[in-house]
């Protein structure tokens, strides 16, 4: 799969991966912002969470489908990249937190929302930093 990184498919897959991240993280952050009282105040947290849940799942599916393709295109590069490793650790932590504490916390608390935003921000920053930390 190493030829993938040198083809036009790599940036296309990367773009699809970023779309998945935007759907997943954007939907979760919207719920968190509602919990914090900064967005969508006319709707309940439960209502927003229910309406965004399909987008969270679609975003996650896109990420899980495209991420391994991107990783497989240059295993050596990514496995040595500290930003990639940070992204993977924070992604695992964010997913565990989301599907345990965040998703099951009713009513959601401000602390849960803040931790969620911090974790997902770290995932996004880690992903963005991959290009800046090539060894």
DSSP 14-71: HHHHHHHHHHHHHHHHHHHHHHTTSS-TTS-HHHHHHHHHHHHHHHHHHHHHHHHHHH
At 24 the pLDDT is 96
pTM for the full predicted model:
0.87
Show Cβ contacts of residue 65 under 8 Å, excluding neighbours closer than 6 positions. Answer: 20
DSSP 120: H
Confidence of residue 85 (pLDDT cuts 50, 70, 90): very high
| pLDDT, mean of residues 61-78 | 93
Token pair recorded at residue 54: 């399909």
| pLDDT, mean of residues 121-127 | 95
| pLDDT, mean of residues 49-56 | 92
Sorted by where each begins, the domain ranges of the chain are 2-132
């Amino acid at each position: 799969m190493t030829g993938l990184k040198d083809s036009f498919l790599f940036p296309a897959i990367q773009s699809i991966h970023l779309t998945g991240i935007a759907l997943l993280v954007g939907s979760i952050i919207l719920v968190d912002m509602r919990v914090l009282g900064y967005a969508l105040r006319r709707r309940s947290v439960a209502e927003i969470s229910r309406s965004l849940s399909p987008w969270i799942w679609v975003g996650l599916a896109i990420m899980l489908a495209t991420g391994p393709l991107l990783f497989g295109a240059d295993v050596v590069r990514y496995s040595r990249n500290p930003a990639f490793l940070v992204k993977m650790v924070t992604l695992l932590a964010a997913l565990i937190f989301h599907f345990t504490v965040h998703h099951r916390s009713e009513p959601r608390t401000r602390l849960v929302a803040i931790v969620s935003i911090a974790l997902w921000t770290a995932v996004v920053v880690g992903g963005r930093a991959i290009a800046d930390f090539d060894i």
